[in-house]
Structure 1
Amino acid sequence: MRCNILIVAQKGRLTHEAALFAATLRHSAPSWAGRLIVAEPQPGPRWPDDPRIPAGPQRDLLEELGAEITPFETCHFGSSYPQGNKIEALAAMPEGPFVFFDTDTVITSELADLEIDFTRPAASMKREGTWPEIEIYGPGYNAIWGALHARRGGRLEDTLDLSWPDEHWRRYLYFNAGWFFGADPAAFHRAFRDAALMVRDDPPEEILCQTLDPWLDQVALPLAIHELGGGRPGGAGGIADGVFDGSHSYHYRFMPLMYATAPDHVIAAVTAATAPNRIKKVLKDHEPFKRFLYQPKGAKARALFDRDDLPRKEQAIRNRLKREGLWVR
């Protein structure tokens, strides 16, 4: 597999997470030959502070690990909706197949061995039924998703997973935006941007009572993927299910959750990637990394849970970690 990888970073937590992502990528996928683009939003009217990655050890480590720190302009989102960075950063990508990952992700296996049909985009299924929230008197899922797809020229019936019953949220095309891929970043950017702006600025009446923050990117993403001829991994999407968010990557979001819930192969890959002194001396400056990667909190969090029998609700995991003094963001 040959492709480029896109992550987005700016000053603060995302800079540290980008360094960890790059370290795990280079350790776990040494044969991968694409370009790692670390997209960096630029100062402007949509950012009250300068969002760029500051000079220092984290930026130096990223460049040492082969990351290309690439600027992009914020035209539509910015600090009011930072999740929009992943939409606008696509405009800065070079031509060719790409995979986007949220920065709070680690790579755990060799990417060069994968077979992906980039002409059939797909995205993460590691999601819950967070949107829409159905009111007792409607409209329901059929009406909401039907109206949205129709506005983008799509057909709801072409997106349904018929193994789930009518009006069950899993029946409808809905992704987590933690990863997605496509063959043409410019085309993906246009489809994703236009869908997001339609949902935000000119929505169909069926969603006027729905909350869009922070769900806007996850509402727009299935519209873009369907428009570009893709779908669910393992179905219409051109990748086997369980590759990303499974055998080859892990979207951890917070260090305590990773140690509490991740499979053993994830922890082994992260431990090996972060062991070299040149990596350690940079990552340990970030408090969550210091406590969980290099101090005993990771092992303590891991000992609290059986990965084969985790609580059904993530909130229960968070609550127990907090009670044990093991929650840090």
Structure 2
Amino acid sequence: MTAVDSPTTRPQAAGGVTVQKPAAQRPSRRRRHDALVPWLLTLPTLLVLALLLGRPLYRMIVLSFQNMRLRELLTGVAPPWVGFEQYQKALTDSTFWGVVGRTAAFTVVSVTVSVLAGLAVALLMRRVHRRVRLAMMIAMMFVWALPQLVAAQAFVWLTDSDFGVLNYLIDKIPGVDYANHSWFVNPWQGWTLITVLVVWAGIPFLAISLSAGLTQVPKELLEAATVDGATAWQALRNITLPILKPLLTIVTTLSVIWNFGLFTQVWVFRSGHPEPYFQTLATYSYTQAFGQSRYSYGSAIAVITVLLMLGVMVFYIRQMFKIGEVD
């Protein structure tokens, strides 16, 4: 075998002289370079997150192993170290588990309704005229850009028991008396309003994202399915949804993370004093820490909440890696 034919050598232009060079050397360097580039690109973001969140998160974790009360806060005395006592107190408290169950139930219901409604709006956007679709996107962008605090306050005015337009319109229905009706006397009605607000605010992100994903569905496949006699539901189930599955997984996981940390809507609706049956993990942690001066107990609840959300985030990151491998 000549030097030209050998896989471990490469000819040079001058005089036909060959230099021995392992063939695997360049690919190995290229792989190391490709593995290093993503870390270099994300390094500024990681540094900013570490500076902004690192110390508060560390302080919260340390505080959860202590017994910080108002006396220690005012006097500056170091709070006593109690180990896992705060976690044991939370995990053996039936009230805490009631809040966990309520938060999980709300998350499941709100995410399911949001994703289904967002998918329906996205499918509708693909069928309407281009100008109508543009108007829908502009309207949803305004909703999406609206701060949560402002949106919640607007819903408070709409559902006010004395001057709310919702009660006024329902009261006009023959045989229905909704004058001065309070929606939050009944927990089911109150949670329905909160869920409607969260769904309304979440539809723009879901609809716009899924509408973009629908552009990747080949029209030829849908036309062929129609020619073969498939119904609209069969085409959706067997063609559209399998293609949208990676995107649906991502937006659903993000919705779970966002809705699980529900705070602003409940806090505004209940004027900063949510009743026990309107408490979520976020509001419960806050009221325990700052409402009852049980700072360490509130920190322990916050840490447990973060751990629960980390499970969902791990699933989300795994799905992102799977999608990257497919691409």
Q: Give the TM-score normalised by the residue count of structure 1.
A: 0.24
Bigger strand fraction: 1
Q: Give the TM-score normalised by the residue count of structure 2.
A: 0.24
Q: Which has the higher contact order (CA 8 A, sep 6+)?
A: 2
Q: Looking at CA atoms only, which structure, 1 or 2, has the larger radius of gyration?
A: 2
